[in-house]
Structure 1
Amino acid sequence: MKEKAVIKVHMNGPKCRPKILKFLIHVLKLMVPYELREKFVNKSTSKRRIKAMEIAATSPGVISVAIDGEDKNQLVVTGEGFDAVNLATVLKKNVGLAQVISFGPDKKE
């Protein structure tokens, strides 16, 4: 039986950044215009999104992974016999805060 989990991953918060990146952003805020800062932050967000998809896709039992949500911060994971809580824990350690929004059988429409 296929299961579907929706996991919300916070990929752009200050808690998600390494310490050296936090320091660099603080220094760059004083020196760099706003447009360049936003371009730099968005680039790192896309890298985190790719990393989150790679982690979810390589988990045992996962068949498909998709990005959904208004802010593109929700992973929709479909598979058989995968552990959504364990997946959220691994995502939290490697990408950023992760919460399981919903988990249940996959309903085909």
Structure 2
Amino acid sequence: MIALLFAIALTAGPTDPSTWREASSVEFPPAMATTETKDEAEAEAPVLAGVAVTVECTARASGKVEACVVLGETHPGLGFGEAAVALVQDSRVDPGPRDVQFARTIQFTP
């Protein structure tokens, strides 16, 4: 397979030696300069080691969990609230005599 790729690359290039350029005439783009070190870039990234989301849901008498809403989250706007609701929504619990509201805190760990 590799031999086939090399053969295609060699035959696809210019065949007229007058169009070839010397290696010294090839210009490379300047290296991208950065003033930010790796430690500074990591310091600006959000630390997601302790992500927690608290959701409130209703457990119906039939055992179906629904009407979940996010009460609070440690990193809002990153999608963890929606993920927590998706985990709990439409789950099942043991049936009971009446509908019950409950709150749970879900911990997301890396």
Q: TM-score, normalised by structure 2?
A: 0.22
- More helix per residue: 1
Q: Which has the larger radius of gyration?
A: 2
Larger relative contact order (Cα-Cα within 8 Å, sequence gap ≥ 6): 1
